[in-house]
Structures are given as C-alpha cells and as structure tokens.
Amino acid sequence: MMTAHDDLKIEQMPQTLREIVLGRMRGAILSGRFASGERLVERTLCDQLGVSRSVVREVIRILEAEGLVETMPNRGPMVATLDWSRARQIYDIRLLLEQSAAAACAESADAATKAKLTEALQAIAAAFTSGQSLTLAEATTAFYRVIFLSAGQDIAWEIVQRLNGRISRLRALTLATSERNVSGLARMTRIHDAILSNDAQAAALAVRDHLTEAASIAERLLKSEEP
C-alpha cells in the first residue's frame, strides 16, 4: 500500500554526529585499522575525524564501556588488548548463551522463523563459496541474530554482540581459517537442521561443537602470534 505522502518522507533520519563517529571508530577498531594496544590520542582523532574533542571524548567513553578501549590514568585511552585467558572466558560465556538461545529457538520455532533461518544459512553458504570474509562475518551474525531474537532473547543478543566485538579480530581470523571452511558450513547446517526439526538438545549440541572448535582455533592463533 503506497500512498502519496510516502514519497515525501525524509530518509536521512537524525543521526547525530556522535553516532557517526562511534560507528566510524568502532569499525576502525574492529577492522584492525587501529591496532591492538595502539594509543588513541584525542586531538589526533579530532583532526582525523574532523570533529571537536567533546564528541571524541563521549565516543571514547562509550567504547570504554563496551570493552573495546581501555583508559589508563594520565596516559589516555588505547585499544584494548586481548589475551587468551580473557578470550577463553568470552568463548565460555558465548557457549552458555548461544546454547540456551539455540535450544529455546528450536523449541519455539514456527514456519516464519524457519524460513528466515534457512535464508540466513543460504547467505552463509554463498559467502563461503565467494570467500569474502567480511560478508561471511555479517552473514554469520545475521544467522545468530535470527536465533536469538526469535527466542525472545534480545538482551542476551546484546551481550553476545558486545562480546563478539571484543574478540572481533580473533573471530575474523577464525572464520577465515581454512579448516573452518571445510567443516564450518557443515556445522552451521547442523544447527539449522536441528532447529528446523525442533530438536532443542541437538541444537545445543551442534552449537557446542561449533563454538568449541572456534575456540580451539582461536587459542592456537592467539598463542602462536604472541607467546
């Protein structure tokens, strides 16, 4: 149903400068544009982004609360570093939350949810064959979003997203690892199938295997690069 006034709608919704800068800086950290441990000098950022210190400082507070930035007294903010003991904890928490969400989703999934899930899986498959790791990460995120939101667990989803941000560098590497390509799609398919057959236990098991493997790959990568 398309009426005349729809054409007049303002597209550019009021996105504040702060949100733009937040997205820009978050992306810069997640993509590795700002290296792990790199200092974030306020005035330099102001120049690079073309905004005032007020905006930069508020954005840094948000990133700090998200765990992406750490601030040392009288030294200023720097990109948070990640050691294996922390990464392991994050994988453990993700395991708990994602198992629970997958089980809940499997129990309550209706036809619409299943359709969305299949669609998301196909996007992942496409990203696998095309080999674009950025697309793959987005498709994987979309897959899990369907699981969490259809299970009515939006707060858990927020937490998982935040945790994923903190291990984003690892996650990108893990997804790009070749061994993952072999079995990764198969494991995602297993999760998908379990939910489609409303088998909560199988879904939880599939998630467990998937995450356990991801964690072990991450461990090897992390320990190999900085021992």
Partner DNA sequence: TGTTGTCTGATGGTATACCAAAGTCACTTA
Partner DNA sequence: TAAGTGACTTTGGTATACCATCAGACAACA
**Which residues are near DNA by CB under 7 A?**
14, 16-19, 39-44, 50-55, 57, 71, 73-77
Q: Which helix (H) or strand (E) holds 72?
A: strand 69-72
Closest separation between CB of residue 82 and DNA, Å?
Answer: 21
Q: By C-alpha distance, which of 65, 72, 62 is closest to 25?
A: 62
What would the two tokens of residue 140 be?
């994987």
Per CB under 8 A, 17 contacts a second copy: no
Total of chain residues touching a second copy, rule CB under 8 A: 29
Distance from C-alpha of 41 to C-alpha of 110, rounded to nearest angstrom: 50
Q: Which stretch binds a second copy (CB under 8 A): 32-40, 88-96, 173-181, 194-202?
A: 88-96
Per CB under 8 A, 198 contacts a second copy: no
- Nearer to a second copy by C-beta: 3 or 74? 74
Closest separation between CB of residue 181 and a second copy, Å?
Answer: 29
* Total Cβ atoms within 10 A of residue 123: 17
Three-state DSSP at 101 gives helix
Per CB under 8 A, 42 contacts a second copy: no
Is the separation of the CB atoms in 92 and 163 below 8 Å?
no
* Total Cβ atoms within 10 A of residue 92: 12
Closest separation between CB of residue 16 and DNA, Å?
Answer: 3
| SS3 readout for 143-154 | HHHHHHHHCCCH
Contact footprint for a second copy (CB under 8 A): 14, 16, 54, 57-59, 61-62, 64-66, 73-74, 85-86, 89-90, 92-93, 96-97, 100, 152-156, 159, 163
